[in-house]
Amino acid sequence: MKKKLLSVLLAAGMVMSMAGCGNSNSQPAASNDNAAETQTQAAETEAKTEAASDAQTADAAGGEAVTLKWAIWDKESTPYWQALADAYKEVAPNVTIEMVDLGSTDYMTVLATELSGEGSDFDVVTIKDVPGYATLVQKNAIIPLDDYISADGVDLSKYAGTTDQVTVDGSLYELPFRNDFWVLFYNKDLFDAKGVDYPTNDMTFDEYDALAREMTDTTFGSQVYGAHYHTWRSAVQLFAVLDGKHTILDGDYEFMKPYYEMVLNQEKDGVCRKYTDLKAEGLHYSAAFSNGDVAMMNMGSWYVATLISSLQSGEYDADLCGNWGMVKYPHAEGVEPGSTLGTITGLSVTSATDTPDEAWKFVEWVSGEEGAAVMAATGNFPAIMTDEAMDLITGLDGFPTDEASKEAMNVSNLYLEVPYAENVSEINSALDSYHGSIMSGEMTIDEGIAAMNEAVQAIKN
């Protein structure tokens, strides 16, 4: 089935490219069957007057040069943007992809500003996080893709349920192309040195806590931290939602208490670095892990690519962290292992674009299986996890060779760090802020949770 789809896509691509070579000038009625096909689509989308979209889609099929302006971040340090654009050039030679780098630090702010009012010239935009996505949806800056999805028969089930969590009133405004999930990284050398068994793919939180404590060495000079939690809210707070009984949008956060207690007790006993220290140092999690004194660290799968490339380039000392592995997230008592957090990166079509159909084609391609192959080849986890893509990643030079690390890639339940909700950005800010208060000791766990409840309930009403 997959193979067939691929070959159809490839064939379509070849036809398109040939058409592209054939007539470089605009010939609206060049290929009739394509025009007919898109006509039904146009009727459904109601986006444009029929005549206009008619002419447009026909243009694309006929191969008129189209330029799509695509908002991205960190072009220099992220290889897959260029790889995707180049690969798409093969499929649709008449389409020029113009990438605009908005930088990663303030990406969603700049993007939302750019899409404010009318007159933006972006066609396709990358969606970095769900709060930002919610903003753009509410601003009507991006369009619903449902009609396109049903017209082209895109199978959403391949996205492992993530699309459900970003559906807004029954409509989907983005299609994910990258899907990172959280795993537990560990340093095998430290476990070997201590003669402790490696963590497994099936650990309860209690077992995890005990293991972290067992690995800890507080002797000055030969210090080992059993665990490491980055300063993000997700790294601590979201352990609590993995049992599937609660969500981060609940408005009553009593269920987070045991996890805060676990981490703060570990901090007190020197099992992990102090939150306040991390904040003062601005210590990046990658620096923490590559320093070779952290036994286990929970982090997103994007770190796999970083670890592999930094070890190869010599930026990380292989003696300190070269022997690493991964296992699944620990799980709550009575819950099957493999539940974890996910972060999706998606593409959307702007409402300002003059060429929504071409923009959609691009989005569909990047988020589809061909795009997935490109992503996997660069060591990133595509939103559609095919066996081929998985083999590509696990087969990368530098990927851990043990079976457990490969098995860790199988996710049973994926909960987005933040699912869509109407006021998700405000809820997110409130939770971020009180997470900081609890972790830095400004508030006790109970005070912090009470404040969270109050703030989120106020936002929801």
In the complex with other proteins, which residue's Cβ is closer, 98 or 206? 98
- Counting residues that bind other proteins (by CB under 8 A) gives 72
We find the least distance from the C-beta atom of residue 170 to other proteins, in angstroms, to be 20
Phi, psi of 372 (to 5 degrees): -60, -40
Amino acid 366 reads: V
Q: How far apart are CA 222 and CA 216, in angstroms?
A: 10
Q: How far apart are CA 356 and CA 362, in angstroms?
A: 10
Q: Is 138 in the site for other proteins (CB under 8 A)?
A: yes
We find the least distance from the C-beta atom of residue 157 to other proteins, in angstroms, to be 29
Phi, psi of 223 (to 5 degrees): -65, 135
Q: Is 171 in the site for other proteins (CB under 8 A)?
A: no
We find the least distance from the C-beta atom of residue 439 to other proteins, in angstroms, to be 8
Answer for which of 82, 96, 291, 453 binds other proteins (CB under 8 A) is 291
Amino acid 364 reads: E
Task: From 5-13, 26-34, 44-52, 115-123, give the range in contact with other proteins by CB under 8 A.
Answer: 115-123
Q: Which of 290, 299, 300 lies closest to 324, judged by CA? A: 290
We find the least distance from the C-beta atom of residue 2 to other proteins, in angstroms, to be 30
In the complex with other proteins, which residue's Cβ is closer, 198 or 302? 302
Phi, psi of 180 (to 5 degrees): -100, 145
In the complex with other proteins, which residue's Cβ is closer, 60 or 130? 130
* Tokens describing residue 406: 């490969």
In the complex with other proteins, which residue's Cβ is closer, 233 or 361? 233
In the complex with other proteins, which residue's Cβ is closer, 32 or 457? 457
The footprint of other proteins on residues 28-87 (CB under 8 A) is 73-74, 76-78
Q: How far apart are CA 456 and CA 461, in angstroms?
A: 9
In the complex with other proteins, which residue's Cβ is closer, 241 or 439? 439
The footprint of other proteins on residues 76-105 (CB under 8 A) is 76-78, 100-105
Q: Is 222 in the site for other proteins (CB under 8 A)?
A: no
Q: Is 269 in the site for other proteins (CB under 8 A)?
A: no
Q: How far apart are CA 172 and CA 117, in angstroms?
A: 22
Answer for which of 163, 231, 237, 350 binds other proteins (CB under 8 A) is 231
Pairing of strands 225-228, 294-300: parallel
Rounded to a whole number, what is the distance in angstroms from the first to the last CA of the chain? Answer: 48
Q: Is 127 in the site for other proteins (CB under 8 A)?
A: no
Q: How far apart are CA 378 and CA 393, in angstroms?
A: 8
The footprint of other proteins on residues 179-208 (CB under 8 A) is none
What are the strands, taking DSSP E only, across 291-441?
294-300, 324-327, 339-349, 413-416
We find the least distance from the C-beta atom of residue 431 to other proteins, in angstroms, to be 9
The footprint of other proteins on residues 301-340 (CB under 8 A) is 302-303, 306, 310, 315-316
We find the least distance from the C-beta atom of residue 280 to other proteins, in angstroms, to be 5
We find the least distance from the C-beta atom of residue 434 to other proteins, in angstroms, to be 7
Is 298:272 a contact under the CB 8 Å cutoff?
no
Is 345:126 a contact under the CB 8 Å cutoff?
yes
The footprint of other proteins on residues 400-429 (CB under 8 A) is 423, 425-426, 429
Answer for which of 47, 94, 184, 230 binds other proteins (CB under 8 A) is 230
Chain centroid, CA 359 distance in Å: 21
Q: Is 434 in the site for other proteins (CB under 8 A)?
A: yes
Element (H, E) at 326: strand 324-327
Task: From 32-40, 165-173, 202-210, 430-438, give the range in contact with other proteins by CB under 8 A.
Answer: 430-438
Q: How far apart are CA 379 and CA 372, in angstroms?
A: 11
